[in-house]
Structure 1
Amino acid sequence: MVAERAERTRLAALMLVLTTATGMIEAVSLLALGPVFTAMQTGNVLYLAFGAAVEGNLPALAPAVSLASFAAGAVCAARLESATEARGRRWFVIGLLVEGTLILAAAGAGWGVAPHYGSPTVRHLAVAAILAVAMGFRNVTSMRVNLPGVPTTLVTRSMTAFFGVRRWDRTARSGTARRRGSCGRWRCWRCSRAGWRGPCWCGPGGR
């Protein structure tokens, strides 16, 4: 139990580091490559919707390239990690190695490219595509890890899990304990009023 808890703590720390890296990558993508998102594909869907409606003067090419690349990366990651797991190898390490290699490749492809907001060039699109493939791998890896509250690319879900679900669980547990205690005291009071001198079952299942 102690070893398992320590392993989950180390894993949570690693996932938080990956989340920080995602924020840095997303900042570069949004400010220098697009506007485009490479990890948070919900933003690209919004860009595509605005582009289809011809509203907001937002280009749709970069978001479309990123969305397609992300899907391709997720498919490749699922197949690769499933095959790796079937052979008894450490798919988590391989997933991280592939992701790191793709990020380095994107850095090499974008070396010397000037930030360009609004009308990305072919090199900007290529860098965004490689980063989106890497983020597709990242999402599959984080889903397979299945660490609650740390999806590494969805801050909204992390905040909800941290501030909402856990707090609600504590409140529900304390409320349940109070209700059980009140019921127990009520049963004891009824027993004493009735003059019952035998054992009084005050537990949750008592009568």
Structure 2
Amino acid sequence: MAHPLPTRAAPAGTLTRLLAALTFATGLVEAAALLGLGPVFTAMQTGNLLFLGFGLMGQGGLSVSAPAVSLGAFVLGAVAGARLEGRLEAHRHRWFVLAVTAEGLLVAAAGGVAWGVQPLSSAPTGRHLAVIATLACAMGLRNVTAMRVAVPDMPTTLVTRAMTAFLAGSLLGRDPAFGRGPGATQRRAASVGAMFAGGVVGAAFIRWDWPLSALLWSAGGISLLVAAAFVPQARLRSR
């Protein structure tokens, strides 16, 4: 069974900020995917399952190839990520740093593949599908990383649970099953806010006709900066 990062590896506030940055990067990636390559998701695979089902029934004019490619690449990324991170942890290597670095490089590579690609207006081309596959592979790896880190309310690739916990545990919801401490509230707010901000910034890239490659390089750069920021922390070890 995977162990979460030891609390001594990084202060809770530092880890929350780093995961919020990764959540922001997810917003950028999904803006590129949904608005420029799809409609398709690369991290939120629930949407792809629905898109694939709708497309198979010939409804909504949705592509079948885009969600199918994304789902397949996500599976590859998740399996490869689990094997990689499990082996790194077994040998007491800094699996978080290396996994986030690998993710950042994959997203940056997707930006290279996307060079000169225009936002999609019809059926996806081979280039579009290649970008989708590379991003989904990176996001499969990211999901494994986030689940291994196991910081409550900070899954980095979706915010529905964090939003629900934020509302249920608030003064409006008043549900005692959801903690209302400052740490929990800040994590939930950071998760929701970072995803929203990433979506807004990503959509601005598309609206201003900035290249998709620039958007993806920005997202990949954030992941690489997060990995670099974590390096000075104490060495990651299994409990």
Given the alignment, which residue of 106, 117, 120 partners 2:121? Answer: 117
Q: In structure 2, list runs of 5 or more residues that go unmatched.
A: 1-6, 181-239
Deviation at 1:169, TM superposition (A): 2.5
In the other structure, the counterpart of 2:176 is: 169
Q: 1:77 to 1:165 in 2, by over 3 A?
A: farther
Runs of 4+ in 1 over 3 A off after TM superposition: 3-6, 170-173
Residue identity in the other structure for 1:48? L
Q: What SS is found at the alignment partner of 1:169?
A: coil
> Is the 1:35–1:118 contact (alpha carbons within 8 Å) kept by the matching residues of 2?
no
In the other structure, the counterpart of 1:92 is: 96
Given the alignment, which residue of 143, 146, 149 partners 2:150? Answer: 146
Aligned ranges 1:42-61 → 2 under 5 Å: 42-61=46-65
In the other structure, the counterpart of 1:63 is: 67
Q: 1:118 to 1:158 in 2, by over 3 A?
A: farther
In the other structure, the counterpart of 2:35 is: 31
> Is the 1:95–1:137 contact (alpha carbons within 8 Å) kept by the matching residues of 2?
yes
Deviation at 1:6, TM superposition (A): 6.8
Deviation at 1:171, TM superposition (A): 8.1
In 2, Cα distance between equivalents of 1:92 and 1:5 = 11
Q: Select the structure with the greater relative contact order (CA < 8 A; seq sep ≥ 6).
A: 2
In 1, Cα distance between equivalents of 2:178 and 2:153 = 18
In the other structure, the counterpart of 1:16 is: 20
In 2, Cα distance between equivalents of 1:150 and 1:136 = 16
> Is the 1:59–1:118 contact (alpha carbons within 8 Å) kept by the matching residues of 2?
no
**Which of structures 1 and 2 has the bigger CA Rg?**
1
Residue identity in the other structure for 1:66? S
Deviation at 1:162, TM superposition (A): 2.1
Q: Where is the helix percentage greater, Structure 1 or Structure 2?
A: 1
> Is the 2:165–2:178 contact (alpha carbons within 8 Å) kept by the matching residues of 1?
no
Deviation at 1:73, TM superposition (A): 0.1
In 1, Cα distance between equivalents of 2:91 and 2:161 = 33
Give yes or no for the alignment of 1:7 onto 2:19.
no
Pairs aligned (count): 171
> Is the 1:58–1:118 contact (alpha carbons within 8 Å) kept by the matching residues of 2?
no
Residue identity in the other structure for 2:176? D
Length-normalised TM-score, structure 1: 0.77
In 2, Cα distance between equivalents of 1:12 and 1:132 = 24
> Is the 2:106–2:138 contact (alpha carbons within 8 Å) kept by the matching residues of 1?
yes
Given the alignment, which residue of 130, 134, 140 partners 1:130? Answer: 134
Q: What SS is found at the alignment partner of 1:10?
A: helix
Deviation at 1:165, TM superposition (A): 4.6
Q: What SS is found at the alignment partner of 1:139?
A: helix
Deviation at 1:36, TM superposition (A): 0.9
Q: In structure 1, list runs of 5 or more residues that go unmatched.
A: 174-207
> Is the 1:31–1:117 contact (alpha carbons within 8 Å) kept by the matching residues of 2?
no
CA RMSD of aligned residues (A): 2.1
Identical-pair percentage: 55
In the other structure, the counterpart of 2:218 is: none
Q: 1:41 to 1:14 in 2, by over 3 A?
A: same
Deviation at 1:134, TM superposition (A): 0.5
